[in-house]
Structure 1
Amino acid sequence: IKAYVKSDLNGSPTINVGSGSEIDTTNQESEIRSIETLAIDSSEIKENQNDLVVSGKIDGGISTLEFTNRRGEPGKALRMRLKGKDNAVTRVVLWGKDESLLPKVISQDAKIRLLGVRTKTGNQGLEIHGNEATMVEIDGGKEAEPVIVRIATINRNEKERILAIGIDDKKNMVYISDSSNMLSSINNGDVIECMPSKVFGSSLTIDNDSFVRKIDNDSIPTLSDLRTKISE
């Protein structure tokens, strides 16, 4: 009630509901199929499909793309990759979305479902594209837990963001992005305990809401422990 329809970036109609709108549920039976029956695996998509419900697992990291649209206005898009049942990987771009819609903690191979997407052939093959009306359902948590790693490499990029690679107690690599200079006094080989603001698989985000401290912890492998001879 009191909703309106407008076109998205691709010219498709979308229903917009504002603060003055109301949504009423009905108990009437409907022949409309449920979301569960509409969903297909990301390995099953084909060319030129629209209004899809696609499920899969997140493969790798999630990033935000900033761009200028055809009206000259700044915009954002969320980029990720989905892995299907056959382990095939599909690139995903959700126009008009950013990381604010994601849980703070997303594990490796987290399950995800995209509602209202289409397929498009890009430079790297078949892709999944969404827009502002696309709904994203993803397994994740609200609170991050402390992480302890030994810093293997650390440097500053062109955006004055500190980037580091750490190793945890299981010798897994952890990728750290710090926008608040909390790692400015940390050196290669140091062990840190941090409370990240976001965790996307093996990628941690540190900002002003995070906590970082240098600690002594002999249970974390040293850099020499990680070196492997070619003969091995």
Structure 2
Amino acid sequence: MDIQKMIDAILRQKINLTRDELVQMIEEKKQKIGAGYLTDQGALFLVAADLGIVLEEMPRLEMSLKDVYAGAKEVSVLARIMNIYPLKRYRRKDGSEARLRTLVIYDNDTRLKVKLWDDMAELPDKLGLKPGDAVKISKAYARAGMDGKITINAGARTAIEIVNDNVPQIRDIDSLTRDVGEITDLEENIAVSGTVKVSPRISSFTNFRGEPSKVLHMQIAGTDGKTFRVVIWNIDEERVPKILSINSRIKLIGVRTKRGQYGDTELHGDEGTVMELIDEQQEIEVMPLRIISVSKGVGKKEESFALAVDRAKHIFTIVMDEPFVEQLKVNSIMECVPSRIYGTTLLLQEDAYVRVSDDDPSFPDATLLECKIKDIKPLQDLYFLEAITLSAAKVQDIQTKDGNSVRYAEIMLGDDTAEMRLVGWRETASMIANLSIGQRIKVYGVMAYTGRDGNTELRLKPFSSIIRV
């Protein structure tokens, strides 16, 4: 074995050891044994033994992933990377810190998870691993998880190296990706492509560990026009393209199919899912808008929202950080360069640009967006209306399937064309709670759905607002 390859093999297994330190150890070993007894390569064998590495062992043949079984030791596989999960930190029972990084690897038959523990958890960053890379994993071991699925575990003796040679026997990510319209069965760890058909949105939730997190919702369609609901849990916005618009063509790597509430097929992903634009990323340009409403400190996270309109009467929802809240006033005109654009949702974060300008009559005001109740349909549109409350507010706590209690409120609205129920869940229930019968109100930024009784109803969103006339 070439001495440089021997050095590389040791450094791959001892990631905290530098090349210079290893060379110094070789020199010290030669001096300790005595001049004339060892070559550099001979000294390296002894240094490797001191480090618990056996260099003379012949390389093992790689197993196919389908042949890996629970309890297997000295596992060696050749595969490609599908997903790389963020680093997680835990506390062991003895109080020490444990680090964990999870990979999903694949060959032509099987997908498996690989768990990298402690020092090995830093390896993906050190090697610059990315989806599609071919890797060789040696001296690992396999266990069955709580769900019975096989997982490869990498410990202190495990070596992971990038295979730079051509590996035609394992398809690359592009060859693995299928048009979403071809999906018919329940599958895990798949790569699909499609076109965004409904404005993407990100909302907050509390995960099973009680930590605040975010989830991305959207719909994508295949070339045959068939649409699929997409839900990406625990999303990191830094891993989402800055502009994700309707009709964007995207690739999702590492999602699974699931049956939805009505038996349709959905795509679900998580923090390891990769989302890529197929077409070139657009630049975010200056957007002039009129502010229609502002909602401050909504919900437990006290988020702030605004609704805005452009000259063409396109409605935008703005999610903004605290520094921008006082800048935006109802009916003012602003020019902004958002941090991110998800369909019709604009994010104003610390890197956004906002400038309030003089009034411009070419922008429509809120009254031009208002509609009559008879024209409201259960679509993905935002509605604006003026109406009268026809009942007192009904407020109650409702028990959900998971045992939690959530606040619910409803009230009946009417105008000169029809009547319709307005409902609010969780934090939006408080918008309805203080309304009384016979009040004239403007309701801005609500969505229409088909209720459990089959009738269309209006539902408040965190960015909605109710204005007493």
Which residue of 2 is the match for residue 74 of structure 1?
211
Aligned-partner residue type, residue 194 of structure 1: C
Which residue of 2 is the match for residue 19 of structure 1?
122
State the shift of 1:126 in Å: 1.7
Is the deviation greater in 168-177 or in 74-83?
74-83
Q: Is the 8 A contact 1:77 1:96 kept in 2?
A: yes
SS at match of 1:182: helix
Q: Is the 8 A contact 1:55 1:111 kept in 2?
A: yes
Say what the alpha-carbon RMSD is for the aligned residues. Answer: 3.3
Q: In the alignment, does 2:240 pair up with 1:102? A: yes
Which residue of 2 is the match for residue 198 of structure 1?
340
| Structure-1-length-normalised TM-score | 0.78
Distance in 2, matches of 1:83 and 1:20, equals: 34
Which residue of 1 is the match for residue 185 of structure 2?
47
Q: Runs ≥4 in structure 1, deviation > 6 angstroms? A: none
State the shift of 1:210 in Å: 2.5
Distance in 2, matches of 1:91 and 1:99, equals: 19
Distance 1:140 1:80, change over 3 A: farther
Q: In the alignment, does 2:315 pair up with 1:177? A: no
Q: Is the 8 A contact 2:190 2:255 kept in 1?
A: yes
State the shift of 1:32 in Å: 2.3
Distance 1:220 1:104, change over 3 A: farther
SS at match of 2:350: coil
Q: Is the 8 A contact 2:241 2:276 kept in 1?
A: no
Distance in 2, matches of 1:122 and 1:186, equals: 39
Which residue of 2 is the match for residue 151 of structure 1?
291
Aligned-partner residue type, residue 178 of structure 2: I
Q: In the alignment, does 2:205 pair up with 1:63? A: no
Larger relative helix fraction? 2
Distance in 1, matches of 2:213 and 2:280, equals: 22
SS at match of 1:63: strand
Is the deviation greater in 152-161 or in 218-227?
218-227
Which residue of 2 is the match for residue 83 of structure 1?
220
Deviation string, structure 1 residues 151-190 (Cα, Å, up to 9, x no partner): 1222232343222221112221121111215233533321
Distance in 2, matches of 1:131 and 1:227, equals: 37
Q: Is the 8 A contact 1:192 1:213 kept in 2?
A: yes
SS at match of 1:100: helix
Which residue of 1 is the match for residue 138 of structure 2?
none
Q: In the alignment, does 2:275 pair up with 1:136? A: yes
Distance 1:142 1:25, change over 3 A: farther
Distance in 1, matches of 2:369 and 2:224, equals: 33
| Structure-2-length-normalised TM-score | 0.42
Which residue of 2 is the match for residue 161 of structure 1?
303
Give identity over the alignment, percent: 25
State the shift of 1:119 in Å: 0.7
Distance 1:165 1:226, change over 3 A: same
Q: In the alignment, does 2:169 pair up with 1:31? A: yes
Aligned-partner residue type, residue 147 of structure 1: M
Distance 1:95 1:147, change over 3 A: same
Which residue of 1 is the match for residue 53 of structure 2?
none
* Count of equivalent residues: 225
Structure 2, gaps ≥5 residues long: 1-11, 16-99, 105-110, 128-160, 373-469
